[in-house]
Amino acid sequence: MLSFDSAEAFEAWLAEHHASCPGIWLKLRKKGPGIVALDYAQALDVALCHGWIDGRKAKLDDEWWLQRFTPRKPNSKWSKVNRDKVAALIEQGRMRPAGQAEIDRAKADGRWEAAYDGAKTATVPDDLTAALAAEPSAAAFFETLDRRNRYAILYRIQDAKKAGTRARRIEKFVAMLAKGEKLYP
């Protein structure tokens, strides 16, 4: 578990250790009045510049939480949110060679174009809309889902690599929704 007072301190550490460290749990301060410390958004920007990515988060105590950061794995997916972030970081002149190498690999193997929507920007695709329209009870239940359950379905549909897989997933989710079932309780 590591802690840094500033983005600059985390940047200096990653500049030295990004290629040799398998990952860290970064201790981040919970937000509150008058608290000045490295925050999640700053840490993510620094990590992306060095070819690292955020992972799980965990509670620590009343004042701190932990965020996992690791080097990006060779076939890891890109989110559209992080794709937009790195474009801004490049424009600001902050991108480092290791981060640029990850971007170049993703562009070369198709992961860049296949970036997935985040929970806030995901929209219901036309094929799911049509399937829900054909099953009114599923459509009605879909409209009652919380953001987590709704995004879980949208992500799994978007993540399908083949048209047949996508169609099977839509069929499965529509049947599940028609029975009033959701992925997360």
- The confidence band for 162, taking pLDDT boundaries of 50, 70 and 90, is very high
Q: 151 with 66, same domain? A: no
Run of H or E residues at 129:
helix 126-133
Q: What is the mean pLDDT of residues 64-87?
A: 96
Q: 27 with 87, same domain? A: yes
Residue 33 has pLDDT above 80, yes or no: no
- The confidence band for 164, taking pLDDT boundaries of 50, 70 and 90, is very high
Answer whether residue 132 is part of any domain.
Answer: yes
Would strands 2-3 and 52-59 be described as parallel, antiparallel, or unpaired? unpaired
Q: 103 with 134, same domain? A: no
Residue 17 has pLDDT above 90, yes or no: yes
Q: What is the mean pLDDT of residues 172-185?
A: 96
**Residue 74 corresponds to which amino acid?**
P
**What φ, ψ does residue 30 adopt, rounded to 5°?**
-70, 145
Answer whether residue 119 is part of any domain.
Answer: no
Question: Which bin fits 4, alpha (ψ -120 to 50), beta or left (φ > 0)?
Answer: beta
Residue 31 has pLDDT above 90, yes or no: no
Q: 81 with 135, same domain? A: no
Q: 134 with 98, same domain? A: no
Q: 9 with 100, same domain? A: yes
Q: 85 with 164, same domain? A: no
- The confidence band for 12, taking pLDDT boundaries of 50, 70 and 90, is very high
Sign of the alpha-carbon torsion through 166, 169, 174, 180: negative
Q: What is the mean pLDDT of residues 8-14?
A: 97
Q: What is the mean pLDDT of residues 107-124?
A: 93
Structural domain boundaries, residue 53: 2-109
54 CA to centre of own chain: 8
Residue 32 has pLDDT above 80, yes or no: no
Mean pLDDT of all residues in the chain? 95
Residues forming beta bridges with residue 52, ordered by sequence position: 71
Quote the pLDDT of residue 37. Answer: 81
Answer whether residue 145 is part of any domain.
Answer: yes
Which of 109, 142, 161 finishes a domain? Answer: 109
DSSP 8-state assignment for residue 115: P
pTM of the full structure: 0.82
Which of 83, 109, 135 finishes a domain? Answer: 109
Minimal CA–CA distance to 155: which of 92, 70, 77?
77
Q: How far apart are CA 73 and CA 50, in angstroms?
A: 13
Q: Which of 28-32, 38-42, 56-60, 79-83 has the lowest mean pLDDT?
A: 28-32
Which of 59, 75, 109 finishes a domain? Answer: 109
Contact yes or no for 103/139 (Cβ under 8 A): no
Q: 165 with 105, same domain? A: no
Q: What is the mean pLDDT of residues 130-154?
A: 97
